[in-house]
Amino acid sequence: MAKYTSENGHFLVATLQTKTLPTYEENLDFLLNYLQRSQAKLIIAPELFLTNFDYENFEKAAGFYTKALTELLVVVDAQIVVLTMTVKEENDFFNRAVVLHNHKIVHQQEKYKLFKLGNEEKYFTAGEKNKIVKFEIDGVSYAILICFELRFKELWREVEGVDVVLIPARWGKSRVKHLETLSRALAIMNQCFVVLSNSADEDMASASAIISPWGEVYADPSLAFIEKKINLKDIKRVRRLINMT
């Protein structure tokens, strides 16, 4: 169980639910401005928030990684910021999740389960399963599942026991019920908080949410960002009430 080191286990969480703006720079400016005015401790953005799946300009999207990361690391201090970006290493492109805190990258992992229906495997190289690991910041344990990875029970086992599961996504509107059901089920099964961030583009499901270990869903499809204070003691209460060990 986590050691509650900040505000006695209470902190403000924010999940973005925005439409993709016309340029990479506008998306980055939106995020930077939001970070500078938000009081949230933890902030998560939708999958490939800055560039979208811009396969027609894939080299440009990957090149934007360094610029965006440099500017974000200047701004991100005590906050924890989670987003995924297109990254090129040698001849391979990856969809990489990065976790920023105290002006550093404190965790990163590449998307392991690529969405074939969206032709992701034609452009991206899959990451490694062993990169899907628990990590700790300020006494709180986290794990990340990127979009399509939420569907795989084998990956639920990899995040078992963490306090907060983070899900950056670009999940289609036609499968919104799947997204809502799976993310809520994960919170209930793992008795943890789930923070889901999904795009609000016309073909996307929105459905960004902050879900409690009891399965209570805090969401509003009309908002560009959702903020809620969570109490990590709720994890201990639920796990004590319904002992799964």
Residue 180: what are its φ and ψ, rounded to 5°? Answer: -65, -45
- Beta-carbon count within 10 A of 17 CB: 25
Domains delineated in the chain: 12-241 (3.60.110.10)
- Beta-carbon count within 10 A of 8 CB: 10
Tokens of 224: 């560009």
**What confidence score (pLDDT) does residue 10 get?**
86
**What confidence score (pLDDT) does residue 235 get?**
95
**What confidence score (pLDDT) does residue 192 get?**
97
Distance of CA 122 to the CA centre of its chain: 23
Burial status of residue 157 (CB atoms within 10 A of its CB: 0-12, 13-18, 19 or more): exposed
Q: What is the 3 state secondary structure string of 97-151?
A: EEEEECCEEEEEEECCCCCHHHCHHHCCCCCCHHHCCCEEECCEEEEECCHHHHH
End-to-end CA distance of the chain: 13
CA distance 14 to 9: 16
Tokens of 201: 């583009």
CA distance 238 to 231: 12
**What confidence score (pLDDT) does residue 9 get?**
74
**What confidence score (pLDDT) does residue 1 get?**
40
Q: In this predicted model, what pLDDT tens digit does every residue of 102-116 receive, in sequence order?
A: 999 999 999 999 999
**What confidence score (pLDDT) does residue 8 get?**
64
**What confidence score (pLDDT) does residue 7 get?**
53
* Continuous segment of H or E residues that includes residue 234: helix 233-241
**What confidence score (pLDDT) does residue 244 get?**
83
CA distance 175 to 105: 32
- The pTM for the full model equals 0.95
Angle at 169 between CA 76 and CA 134, to 5 degrees: 65
pLDDT < 50: residue spans in the chain: 1-6
Mean pLDDT of the chain: 95
- Beta-carbon count within 10 A of 216 CB: 13
Q: In this predicted model, what pLDDT tens digit does every residue of 35-75 receive, in sequence order?
A: 999 999 999 999 999 999 999 999 999 999 999 999 999 99
Bridging pattern class, strands 140-144 and 135-137? antiparallel
CA distance 194 to 179: 12
